[in-house]
A = this chain, B = another copy of it.
Amino acid sequence: MLRLSQLYTRTRKEVSEADPSRNAQLLTKAGFVSRLMAGAYTFQPLGLRVLHKIEQIIREEMDAVGANEVLMPALQPRDVWDATGRWDNVDVLFKLKGAGDRDLCLGPTHEEVVTPLVTQYIHSYRDLPQAVYQIQTKFRNEARAKSGLLRGREFRMKDMYSFHATLSDLDVFYERATTAYHRVYERLGIGDRTLLTYASGGMFSKYSHEFQTLTEYGEDTVYRIPGTKAAINKEIIGDQDALAGIIPGYKPGMEKEFEEVRAIEVGNIFKLSTRFSDAIGAKYMDEQGKPQSIFMGCYGIGPSRILGTIVEVLADDKGLIWPEAVAPYRLHVVSLVREAAELAASEPIVKQLQAAGLEVLWDDRVGFSAGEKFKDADLIGCPHRIVISAKTLAAGQVEYKARQDETAEMLTVEALLGRLSA
């Protein structure tokens, strides 16, 4: 339980226009983030709770596919990037000098570190497959960063990497990872509008996949395959050979009928094949004792970007709206009081709700009108709200409203608990 009187942030009516994105504007007004500079935000207490919940859901699903969690350094030495030929080719790389004038960079991705890290333990086919992941702060020196949490110079990332003896074993794990990703979006409350989207595979493989969440505020355009929860991205919608490989019963030109929709990319998965293991010289011994290349996959999802996406998708003109699983608190309790002594009447109810296991944000502030408190509750966006006032206390009830309801209703505390546990 958090008392609003003990939270140091406040809601704001107006915020700087320096970052015009809808997610940054709303999150700043509600006190969830604070902008330090373009692309770099502080997570304030309410925002950090949401971020931690998103990360925990992702962690549980990565654990469920049997991946081991690690935490790699953000600082990386130049030599591993030279080995893969990417030191000069990744234009968003933040470069800096370490002690002894050593060239370092800040990791925007970790293939260069994870490949030697994991393959030091891989000697034979018996040591495969393996998968590791981390949830970490990453850095990209973006030329422009005007999209709030959707495009950060510093951002949170879950990156998983898998290692396999054969391409077919990679294919099997890739399918399991895809299923795990769908479960993550379901649990985050955006599963119904998140499409598996075919994208170009770059130099490593035929296709990669993006997960694209539909919203009119999206920066990407994708083309929905009718009757499915899949889409084609802009890179390959014009490539009829590619489309023939993806869509069963494809007929040239049918893509012209596909619905064009706006979306935000909330994850991407790649088959890296042997691109990095070969560059780094990581091999395993097969059953005949012959050295063989290790196949790899990588699987990315950005918790801070997802936080911004949830805002873009679900917020309304009154403020934020959080899905149950990631809300900073599930229940917002508004005590309408003129002086501090009157709070004592609310306290047994708050304690009872807390004892029932509910996460409660208690607006115990004195000197705020009902209108101000209701506006703050709508802006902060907990999924459920109750009001405790002299009137509700006299009736032995509380006044309940879900965040998206227009009108409130009177309930006993027992009835409220029944409803929220359902």
A-to-B contact residues, CB < 8 Å:
6-10, 34, 36-37, 40-45, 48, 51, 66, 68-77, 94-96, 98-99, 106, 113, 117-118, 120-121, 130, 132, 137, 139, 141-145, 153-154
Q: Does the CB pair A48–B36 fall under 8 Å? A: no
By a CB distance below 8 angstroms, the chain B residues around A34 are 117, 120
16 A-B pairs within 8 Å (CB atoms) are namely: A8-B118, A8-B132, A34-B117, A36-B76, A36-B113, A37-B75, A37-B77, A40-B75, A42-B70, A42-B71, A45-B69, A45-B70, A73-B154, A94-B96, A96-B106, A98-B153
Other 12 A-B pairs with CB < 8 A, given A42-B73, A73-B154: A8-B68, A36-B72, A36-B73, A36-B117, A37-B77, A45-B132, A48-B69, A48-B70, A74-B74, A94-B98, A99-B144, A99-B145
Q: Is the CB of A44 within 8 A of B70?
A: yes
* Contact (A142, B99) CB under 8 Å given A8-B121, A40-B73: yes
| CB contact under 8 A between A153 and B8, given known A70-B48, A96-B95, A117-B42 | no
Instruction: Report how far A141 CA is from B36 CA in the complex, Å.
Output: 23
The 6 closest A-B pairs by CB, nearest first: A40-B73, A96-B96, A43-B71, A45-B68, A8-B130, A42-B72
CB of A137, distance to nearest CB on chain B (Å):
6
**Chain B residues, Cβ within 8 Å of A117:** 34, 36, 42
Q: Which residues of B contact A66 (CB under 8 A)?
A: 6
Distance in Å: Cβ of A126 to nearest Cβ of chain B: 10
The answer for the CA separation of A143 and B113 in the assembled complex, in Å, is 23
Complex alpha-carbon distance, A95 and B44, angstroms = 26
CA distance A174 to B70 in the complex (A): 35
Cα–Cα, bound, A203→B95 (Å): 34
Is A141 a contact partner of B69 (Cβ separation < 8 A)? Answer: no
Task: Please name all residues of chain B whose beta carbon is closer than 8 Å to the beta carbon of A144 when the two chains form the complex.
Answer: 99
| Chain B residues, Cβ within 8 Å of A69 | 45, 48
A93 to B: closest C-beta gap in Å: 11
Task: Name the residue among A8, A34, A42, A121 with the largest chain B CB count within 10 angstroms.
Answer: A8
Contact A75 B139 (CB under 8 A): yes
Chain B nearest Cβ from A100, distance in angstroms: 8
Q: In whole angstroms, what is the CA distance A264 to B121 when docked? A: 33
CA A145 to CA B6, docked complex, whole Å? 41
Q: In whole Å, how far is A374's beta carbon from the nearest beta carbon of chain B?
A: 21
**Residues of chain B within 8 A of A68, CB atoms compared:** 6-9, 44-45
Nearest CB on B from A111, distance (A): 14
Return chain B residues, CB-CB under 8 Å to A8. Answer: 68, 118, 121, 130, 132
Indicate whether A9 sits within 8 Å of B121 (C-beta atoms), given known contacts A69-B45, A94-B96: yes
Structural contact, B74 and A137, CB atoms closer than 8 A: yes
Rounded to whole Å, the gap between the CB of A220 and the closest CB of chain B is 22
Closest to A152 in B: B73
A106 CB to nearest B CB, Å? 8
Q: How far is the CB of A397 from chain B (nearest CB, A)?
A: 32
Choose one: B9, B48, B99; the contact of A141 (CB below 8 Å). Answer: B99
- A37 — which chain B residues lie within 8 A by C-beta? 73, 75, 77
Most buried by B among A77, A94, A95: A94
CA distance A99 to B254 in the complex (A): 42
Q: A7 contacts which chain B residues (CB < 8 A)? A: 68
Residue of B nearest to A10 (CB): B121
What is the minimal beta-carbon distance from A347 to any residue of chain B, in angstroms?
18
- The smallest beta-carbon distance between A1 and chain B, in angstroms, is 12
